[in-house]
Amino acid sequence: MKKFETNAIRTQADQSSSREHSVPLYLTSSFTFDDAEQMRAMFADELEGNIYSRFSNPNTSEFIEKMCLLEGAEAGYATASGMAAVFAGFMALLKSGDHIISSSSIFGSTHTVITKFLPKWGITHSYADVNKPETWVGLIQKNTKMIFIESPSNPGLDIIDLKWLADLANKNNIILNVDNCFATPFIQRPIEFGAHLVIHSGTKYLDGQGRVLGGIILGKKELIKEIYTFCRSTGPSLSPFNAWVLSKSLETLSIRMERHSENAHKLAVYLESHKEIIQVRYPFLRSHPQYETAKKQMSLGGGIVSFEIKGGIERGKEFLNALEMCSLTANLGDTRTIATHPASTTHAKLSEEERSSVGITPGLVRISVGLENIQDIIDDISKALESSKI
Ligand SMILES: *Cc1c(COP(=O)(O)O)cnc(C)c1O
């Protein structure tokens, strides 16, 4: 079996008769058949092959095959965005009367889907506190079908013990579904710890250059079969162009994640000693409450650092305004360093109480540390900390 970097580079769609070195873009909505019998057999799932790009396409298939190798998954389906993958996982596998347990510390839109939409279809939920693992067992009900988590979580960087949770899920016949967006398969592979499904927003580190939206859901064959049928019939498919971009981007995932992590770790250490900062969160800092767990299941700390600035909401905004180089934008996992203020943006739809229960304080700032020279990143942040003093 080839190693991670080689799989990320050498997994390619079959060469065409033109003998190209880099895979071409298959901009076609449908595929032709040799004859009526082949067409019948393909529609009947007796023969494998491309029929229509909502079902499959050589570019999306290459992206899926590569991601399966990188995550150690049996199968997958690629979607138009990360949220389409989250939604497809819920819709294809849950039904009215089912119950889901989710860590409370999750992406804002996922929180909205669980809290606002799932109840409309009779799917109930319980939110679980990552910092109190002993309370999780008590949340399991007879109708609990899925546990959904992010580790590290957005934006609080909470870490959950994946092995412990997978054992709990398996013992109770529950599907463990992990949003692995922050770590990427280069840093953490939840399936190796026993997770049944892994989700990614391809928009983040998989692309890594802030160009395209995309998502993917990977895992056990029998679960992906249901998800495939749901997606094939409802249409959240990834476009061939975005799949082509994402698959190309994966060729550099390993070196990008190494540098993102190196820069983020240096920034976290710098911030930890800064007198204008109350607290810094980074999985590979000893001060992180789940540092030992992070070390056990992640090979690097990742590219996100969050911190609490002195002076609350006003100071947080002043700090963002004082940045000269770092971008103010909603994305993360880009080559460019990005600063955001979750309380007023990504998590603004949550109530004040909900926000504080997931650790989003008014002065919390999230930095997606990019690939610029680390000294320039630190200089920009340090100047902004000085000039935003109140
Ligand atoms: C961005 C993000 C998503 C949603 O992905 P989109 O591609 O924007 O739909 C889901 N989970 C996490 C952790 C994210 O950061």
pLDDT of residue 390: 66
Asked whether the CA dihedral 159, 162, 163, 169 is positive or negative, the reply is positive
Question: Residue 182: which CATH number?
Answer: 3.40.640.10
Residue ranges around ligand 1 (CB below 6 Å): 81-83, 107, 150, 154, 179, 181, 201, 203-204, 213, 215
pLDDT > 80? residue 139: yes
Mean pLDDT, the chain, rounded, equals: 95
pLDDT of residue 105: 87
133, 164 Cβ separation under 8 angstroms: yes
Q: Strand 124-128 relative to strand 99-103: parallel, antiparallel, unpaired?
A: parallel
Same domain for 245 and 220? yes
Q: Which residue, among 232, 192, 214, has the nearest Cα to 73 in the 3D structure?
A: 192
Same domain for 199 and 292? no
Domain boundary pick from 252, 271, 286: 252
Indicate which residue's Cα is closest to atom 8 of ligand 1: 82
Question: Residue 260: which CATH number?
Answer: 3.90.1150.10
The ligand 1 atom nearest the CA atom of 182: 13
Q: Which residue, among 142, 130, 95, 106, has the nearest Cα to 289 in the 3D structure?
A: 130
The ligand 1 atom nearest the CA atom of 154: 13
Q: What is the mean pLDDT of residues 41-47?
A: 94
pLDDT of residue 362: 85
Token pair 């990360």 is found at: 82
pLDDT > 90? residue 236: yes
Same domain for 264 and 243? no
Same domain for 243 and 259? no
pLDDT > 80? residue 58: yes
Q: Which residue has the higher pLDDT, 135 or 357?
A: 135
Same domain for 125 and 78? yes
pLDDT of residue 176: 98
- From 79, 81, 83, the mutation candidate for ligand 1 (largest count of ligand atoms within 8 A of CB) is 83
Domain boundary pick from 252, 282, 310: 252
Give the end-to-end CA distance of the chain in Å, rounded to a whole number: 57
Same domain for 227 and 279? no
- From 79, 87, 107, 150, the mutation candidate for ligand 1 (largest count of ligand atoms within 8 A of CB) is 107
Same domain for 203 and 277? no
pLDDT > 90? residue 352: no
Written as six digits, the tokens of 211 are: 């160009």
Q: Which residue has the higher pLDDT, 136 or 350?
A: 136
Q: Residue 348: phi, psi to the nearest 5?
A: -70, -25
Q: What is the number of structural domains in the chain?
A: 2
Q: Strand 364-368 relative to strand 338-340: parallel, antiparallel, unpaired?
A: antiparallel
Predicted structure pTM score: 0.96
pLDDT > 90? residue 82: yes
pLDDT > 80? residue 306: yes
Integer Cα distance of 326 and 345 in angstroms: 17
Q: What is the mean pLDDT of residues 87-99?
A: 98
Quote the ligand 1 centre to 156 CA distance (angstroms).
15
pLDDT > 80? residue 358: no
324, 337 Cβ separation under 8 angstroms: no
Domain boundary pick from 221, 252, 283: 252
Same domain for 189 and 305? no
How confident is residue 53, by pLDDT bands cut at 50, 70 and 90? very high
Q: Which residue range(s) make up the domain with 170?
A: 4-252
Task: Give the CA dihedral 316, 318, 319, 325, nearest 10 degrees.
Answer: 140
Query: DSSP per residue over 352-376, as a string?
Result: HHHHHHTT--TTEEEEE--SS-HHH
**How many other C-beta atoms are found inside a 10 Å radius of the C-beta of residue 182?**
27
Exposed / middle / buried, residue 132 (Cβ in 10 Å: 0-12, 13-18, 19+): exposed
Q: What is the mean pLDDT of residues 197-212?
A: 98
Q: pLDDT of 253-300, one tens digit each?
A: 999 999 999 999 999 999 999 999 999 999 999 999 999 999 999 999
pLDDT of residue 330: 85
How confident is residue 366, by pLDDT bands cut at 50, 70 and 90? very high
Same domain for 300 and 348? yes
Asked whether the CA dihedral 92, 102, 290, 134 is positive or negative, the reply is negative
> How much of the chain is in helix, strand and coil states, percent to nearest 5?
45, 15, 40
Token pair 């463990």 is found at: 176
Q: What is the mean pLDDT of residues 131-152?
A: 96
pLDDT > 80? residue 315: yes
pLDDT > 90? residue 20: yes
Same domain for 187 and 274? no
Please tell me whether residue 48 adopts helix, strand or coil conformation.
coil
